[in-house]
Every structure is written in structure tokens, then in C-alpha cells.
Chains A and B, each alone.
Chain A
């Protein structure tokens, strides 16, 4: 599904991601863990095309996306969420989600001018996709509330829904469970399992170890930009190198 070969990203002489090779399989939950500053978010930025790698290769479904621009990568089916999602606070949840399907539509300025049939059809389609995504994440009941008025956990779900509305094959979730309580974390974990069941591939960055160990099929551990381990939760948990890395930076072991 997603193959990374010798991926490296330098920022002014410092390697944020250093020679990382990894393969993520389809229809699985893949997790990336590591201490703060290990290069996890940079890794996501490279895969999604936001940054260009210094060297290495990224293959998505057999297509080389290494140097592709972000919006092209999204069109190929890579959806993502961010640690914080800035949305239009004074608009309804549904209104915020409609644009999610924009990348699958083609209407331009002329269509807007003459209010073409294509535009109307595409707008209907986008609205339906948004509703579908909202239904999937279980938020149909807040459809007409302003973003400003929903809870932190509901915001997380809206961010998921926005990524889902792009019809991705893989979703990259950056700390999806940060800032929500244990009960809600449970709910979000369920949601990720549901995504995989419907044919999606999930790839997430997370600090909440309990959750990761419970749901991940495969874990990659990054430290100082380098891959120090990968495998099933059991393999990673018992890996001395990983234990060393986490003991070395106690602030994250607690998280």
C-alpha cells in the first residue's frame, strides 16, 4: 500500500527524518510512535507531499509520489488530519464538510456564472458525501451546529469526517486522541477500527500507548529521525532498543 524507501529530510544540516524504510500494508492500522521531535510529523508531511524529501522514495499503491505536490497526493487517495484543525467556527459542521469532496469535482468559474447543471449536480454530490462522512463518524446529530459550539471530541471526529469526505484509500491521523479523555479515546479507537473494516488503511501518530497497543497491527518506532524498530505491539514492547529510547526520554514514557 505505502512503501517508503530510504526517506531522508534535512532541515538546515539536521536530519529530521533519516534513511527510513518501511512498508505499510492495506486494510491495517499502522502506528508511528516515538519521543517528541523524533520526526513523526515530518514523516507525515513528507508522505502527504507538504514537504519535499531530501532523498529517498515514496510509493503509494505502486505510484511514485515522492515529488508530487500535496493536492495531487490527496487526489490519489491520501487523506490526513492535523494535530489542530482550523475550521470556520461560525459555520455549521455540515457547511465545513462540504468542501471535503471538492477534489473529486471539476466545476470552474464559468459553471458558477451560469449555475450549470454540472455545478448543481456536483454540489449535491458533495453535500451527500459530507453527510455520509458525518454519519460514519457518528455526528449526524450536530450537523447544524456551529463548529464553535461542539466539544473537543466532536471536533476530532469532524476532522476525521473531513478527511473521509475526500474518499481516501489511506488516512494519516496526527495524534487523533490528543486532548480527549480515556473514555472518548476508546470511542475514537473504535472509529479507527471501523474505518479499517470498511476498506481503509489507517496510519496514525500517537502518544497514548494503551490505545496503540490495543489497536495497532504494526508499529514503527522513530527516534531522532531514525527508525529504531518495527513490528507487532508485542515485538515492539519487548524490544530493548525501544525501551532504552523511551527510558532515555522519560517525558513521553509517562504520556
Chain B
């Protein structure tokens, strides 16, 4: 029972991180129909920014996380302006190749400045909470609570603010949004900014219980893609639900089956799902 509960906590932790990363990816896809292969690199840059702000500049964990979110959000906006905006009339294959170019650049640049070594971020919250024999590491609780808070905040922003409503409107109908006078440039930049910030926060939350290194984003981005395909590309609840499914599948699959093949679980799932339902699990019928 105790072990089972540990896996639930692990699943929730993983699911929260995956959900946050997938959320950024799905927002960008919903608005611009770009599968942003560079999203994993933004996640990685987010972790390195937090690392540098904390270790080299000595800022507290939370300040470092906020700084990292702002830096990566700016990076996302720059990407939209410099890379994807000029490509808006190009065939879709060009977006994907350009995104790969960005991914390669960010990875190599980080490696140039920080090297390829594995690094650790020490969290100020390394205690362990005990509830009646159940053990919860503080950082994991922080990840889960942090993710939930962010999700609620994001929901509020999307539903209750004018800017959020425009993002939703544009995700639903790009041409229609254009007709009613929505500034699509501003929405695109905003979306990339939010997406970058989410990736940076996810990376900063997860980094203390994981390692930081230049290619850390590759596996995460692939899983995020699996998640948004699972949840329907462009769907916000789908990204969260998909994140939880993959998180739990990995936690339990890794524990009860072979941990060496833990990473295979999500990709195996994807292959099976796409073989049976090419449009994803929760996607509505092709339109």
C-alpha cells in the first residue's frame, strides 16, 4: 500500500511536469499550427537559467525561477518574431526544419558556455513530510502544488481576461479572429511568451530532483508530443490529462515492470494509439 502510494506521488509529480511542458506546446500548436520542436530546448534553457541565477548569482530559488521564466518567455517571443513570423506563408515542413535549427542552436550554445556535464540544483525544500507512515518529499509536493496553482492561474487568464479570450478565440478560428479585428501578431507573441515561461517553470520545479544538462530537453519534448497527440493537438485539458496519463504510466510501469524500458512506455503508447486512431485519443473527428 505504501509503495503503491509512493508511485501515485511519483506519477503526480511526473504528470505535473509533463503537463506544464505539453501545455506550452499545445498552446503554440493551437494558435499557429506549428509543432515547436524547439520547445524542449526552451525547457532546457529554463533549467540552466535557474541554475546560473542560483549558483552563480546567488539568488534565492523563487527569484531564480521567476527570472528564468522571464528570460525564456523573452526567448520564446524572439523566436516567434525572428523565425516563425517570417515563415508564416511557407509550407509546413519549413516550420519544422526551422524549429529543429533553433533546437540545435540552443543546445550547442548552452554546451559552449556551461559544458556537457551533468549539474545539480539544490532545492531549499529538501525535507521529507510524513503522514501516518506515508513519505512525501517536499520538492515533489511543491511540484504538484506549483503545477496546480499555475494551471488555475492560466485558466483564469484564458477565461477571464480580454487577452486570454483572444488567445482562445484565435485557437478556435484563426481566420474568424482575423475578421473581428484581433491583432494576431500580439496573440502569437503572447502565446510564445506563455509557452516559454511554462517550460522554464516546469524545468525549474523539476531540476532539484533531476539533473541539468544540455540535451535534457530531448526526451521531455518527445514525451510532450506524445501527450498532446494523446490529448488532441491544441487542446488544453487534453494536455493536462495526457500529461497525467503518461506520468502515471511511467511511474507504475517503471516500478512494476522494467525500469530500463521506462522511457519506452510513452513511445510504445504513441505507436499503438496512432496505429489505431490516427487523429489521437480525444480528438474530435477529422474536419
Chain A residues contacting B284 (CB-CB under 8 Å) are 12
Chain B residues contacting A12 (CB-CB under 8 Å) are 284-285, 287
Closest to A14 in B: B287
Q: How far is the CB of B187 from chain A (nearest CB, A)?
A: 24
Measured between alpha carbons, how far is A11 from B284 in the docked complex, in Å?
9
Chain A residues contacting B287 (CB-CB under 8 Å) are 11-12
Q: How far is the CB of A42 from chain B (nearest CB, A)?
A: 10
Measured between alpha carbons, how far is A11 from B287 in the docked complex, in Å?
7
How many residue pairs link A and B with beta carbons under 8 A? The number is: 5
Chain B residues contacting A11 (CB-CB under 8 Å) are 285, 287
Q: Mark B267-287, 1 if CB is under 8 A from A, else 0.
A: 000000000000000001101
Q: How far is the CB of B94 from chain A (nearest CB, A)?
A: 13
Q: Mark A117-143, 1 if CB is under 8 A from B, else 0.
A: 000000000000000000000000000
Q: How far is the CB of B110 from chain A (nearest CB, A)?
A: 37
Q: How far is the CB of A55 from chain B (nearest CB, A)?
A: 16
Q: Mark A5-31, 1 if CB is under 8 A from B, else 0.
A: 000000110000000000000000000
Closest to B284 in A: A12
Measured between alpha carbons, how far is A12 from B284 in the docked complex, in Å?
8
Q: How far is the CB of A255 from chain B (nearest CB, A)?
A: 15
Closest to A86 in B: B91
Q: How far is the CB of B154 from chain A (nearest CB, A)?
A: 26
Q: How far is the CB of A180 from chain B (nearest CB, A)?
A: 21
Measured between alpha carbons, how far is A11 from B285 in the docked complex, in Å?
8
Chain A residues contacting B285 (CB-CB under 8 Å) are 11-12
Q: How far is the CB of A39 from chain B (nearest CB, A)?
A: 13
Q: How far is the CB of B77 from chain A (nearest CB, A)?
A: 31
Q: Mark A58-98, 1 if CB is under 8 A from B, else 0.
A: 00000000000000000000000000000000000000000
Measured between alpha carbons, how far is A11 from B286 in the docked complex, in Å?
8
Closest to B91 in A: A86
Q: How far is the CB of B280 from chain A (nearest CB, A)?
A: 15
Q: How far is the CB of B162 from chain A (nearest CB, A)?
A: 27
Q: How far is the CB of A38 from chain B (nearest CB, A)?
A: 17
Closest to A10 in B: B285
Measured between alpha carbons, how far is A43 from B241 in the docked complex, in Å?
37
Q: How far is the CB of B283 from chain A (nearest CB, A)?
A: 11
Measured between alpha carbons, how far is A12 from B285 in the docked complex, in Å?
7
Closest to B285 in A: A12
Interface positions, chain B 228-287, Cβ under 8 Å from A, are 284-285, 287
Q: How far is the CB of A153 from chain B (nearest CB, A)?
A: 21
Measured between alpha carbons, how far is A189 from B287 in the docked complex, in Å?
32
Measured between alpha carbons, how far is A69 from B205 in the docked complex, in Å?
50
Q: How far is the CB of B22 from chain A (nearest CB, A)?
A: 24
Q: How far is the CB of B83 from chain A (nearest CB, A)?
A: 22
Q: How far is the CB of B105 from chain A (nearest CB, A)?
A: 27
List 5 A-B pairs, Cβ < 8 Å.
A11-B285, A11-B287, A12-B284, A12-B285, A12-B287
Kindly list the 5 A-B residue pairs having the minimum CB-CB distance in the complex, ordered from nearest. Answer: A12-B284, A11-B287, A12-B285, A11-B285, A12-B287
